[in-house]
Structure 1
């Protein structure tokens, strides 16, 4: 598999969001985009035996496993396990600013210890065999000077044998800002990431952070970035980001013509999930933004938000919601529909909190 090609566009790992049902949905929209798991803590795999966290469907390929940790031996074993499960890439999280991650001395705090990161990466590569190991990082943390810190960090990871890095183009403030604020308050510095292309011509660099449209993603590719990683926008407005991605980014045919066809294509996955004892809302919670900005979007969100969580909710609830939004699209009799964004509501149901990426 030419993973570099798929990394031209990727959906960021987001805690509590990019689970296997989310990835199944995103794969319906785009066959080519690289998908990431939520961060899986290495200790949970190695010491906790939580192999269930690695379950995925073959249809999700290309799919990458993101690991969190800071112990080289433990990360190596976790990488070995992940490679054995069939993931196309193993990624080390050096960008998450949450308190929980800091307390484990991993995530963005690792920007302060590039040698430890290099040791972890070397051990992971030795254990992962042919499966590529990559890094997702910030441009710096706290009072660090990104213009000095990022080149030093990239030098360490390159010298450890890493050739592909995704850079969230914001600093992370580990003290004083919440994880949510860390996604919005520190200013973006895309130009610094662009500069790293010239400083490290042997690295495959993807940019992440604040990218809200497919046009913006294409513009970064036009500027020379090897890849673009999209987070919240791909989750909140998935059709806007992914529905045209295969054609525009990869030069391939789009798998679905429109959002309705994508919703229909998800029906077999939902049926299998329900037959396996799963709940309807475990899938549909990831699909609330499918029709964002289109007629019937609010109706779709309301019907699924109110109906999918009820005990015994089945495909009839999903089919009724899809029939309602299809009619609204055909007649365009739903004025006032709007894209789902932070703080929006769906028929009185608050939108879910913004994910961590």
Structure 2
């Protein structure tokens, strides 16, 4: 592995805020990784499955920022994969050759239909299958009786994972909460993990909140139940033979480092990746120990221009997509910077889009992005061209 870059003053200041063990060795989680081989590298940073967010275009935007972080699909209901209109399913499952490591998340409660869905979907290029046992929405956990509702039946989860592991050759994992409704003790969580591990599944992605299945919506389920990272760390200590990824409330690379330093196998990033994607611009060097980060995210200008080029290059696929879905991945590019509202408004100005004939970009979608870049040249050129590495 190439030598790590020298520390900047900012790195030194960041290190001083970390636990002593991490401060002494900035990447202790990499010890032993070289022996694993490329196929078995730990998913140190994972981009969470998010409905109407982690579709193909968003994942491609993430790949302009990091080559190493593990990407996830949106949650795919098993019956949709099996019985959906084929073109719709093809578009939904489409996976770029540059995406791995990339995880397919499936939703359902029937081992046979989940096996069938996995067999259909994995050949699209996914190198891991995950069972959703954490989504609290009424449509999923109520009428659908899957997602977080599965935590009420650990033996069913175990049996589903057993069958999935027989059906595919890629790893099979489970994503779940700390508990559901009033079943929220550590003892309940421990028993769930113990039972599910009998399937042979050894990687648990834990959203460090319980889920309320009735009374609050999915958005509130991401904020109202209190976070309890300590329970995830306790699982790491109590089940050293298993791997636990921490999910929930992680908002900076510093917090990723802290979680890895405390024993988490990986850290899953959700809203931060969408709201503030440039926070991830140094993931490859700072977390994975790479010699450099992708040139496509050296500056916000480079990132946006690279994404516009991607939009042009995939025009056959995206020509019929609404422009809002094209630009949604990049809306947070100027998070925390002067002019972020102006940038977002520039990408939601439908009147401007309809009449657009811009001098950069081959397609109208890409021209719309170049127009927003030009607006930011006036509003905040420093943020546009500042080095993110």
Name the TM-score, length of structure 1 as normaliser.
0.88
Whether the aligned pair in 2 keeps the contact of 1:188 and 1:209 (CA below 8 Å) is: yes
Equivalent in the alignment of 1:293: 336
* Candidates 220, 225, 243, aligned match of 2:281: 243
Partner of 2:314: 273
The structure with the largest helix share of the pair is 2
The answer to whether the 8 Å contact 1:3/1:62 transfers is: no
* 1:326 equivalenced with 2:380 (yes/no): no
- Shift of residue 331 of structure 1? 5.4
1:41 pairs with 2:84: no
Match of 2:365 in 1: 314
Counterpart of 2:147? 107
Residue 345 of structure 2 aligns with which residue? 302
Following TM superposition, by how much is the alpha carbon of 1:68 offset from its aligned partner in structure 2, in angstroms?
0.1
Question: What secondary structure, in the 3-state scheme, does the structure 2 residue paired with 1:136 have?
Answer: strand
Deviation at 1:162, TM superposition (A): 0.5
Q: Is 1:16 the equivalent of 2:16? A: no
Query: What's the CA shift string for 1:47-88, capped at 9, x where partnerless?
Result: 335532211211222111000000011111111222222201
Aligned residues: 331
State whether residues 281 and 308 of structure 1, in contact with CA within 8 Å, keep that contact through their aligned partners in structure 2.
no
Unaligned segments of structure 1, at least 5 residues = 334-357
Runs of 4+ in 1 over 6 A off after TM superposition: none
Let me know the Cα RMSD of the aligned residues: 2.0
What is the SS of the residue equivalent to 1:28?
helix
TM-superposed CA distance for 1:4, in Å, is 5.3
Q: Is the 8 A contact 1:77 1:124 kept in 2?
A: no
Query: Is the Cα contact below 8 Å between 2:95 and 2:125 reproduced in 1?
Result: no
SS in structure 2 of the partner of residue 135 of structure 1: strand
- The gaps in structure 2 that reach 5 residues or longer are 1-36, 357-363, 385-389
- Which protein is bigger by CA-based radius of gyration? 2
Local SS of the residue matching 1:324 = helix
Q: Alpha-carbon deviation of 1:326?
A: 3.5
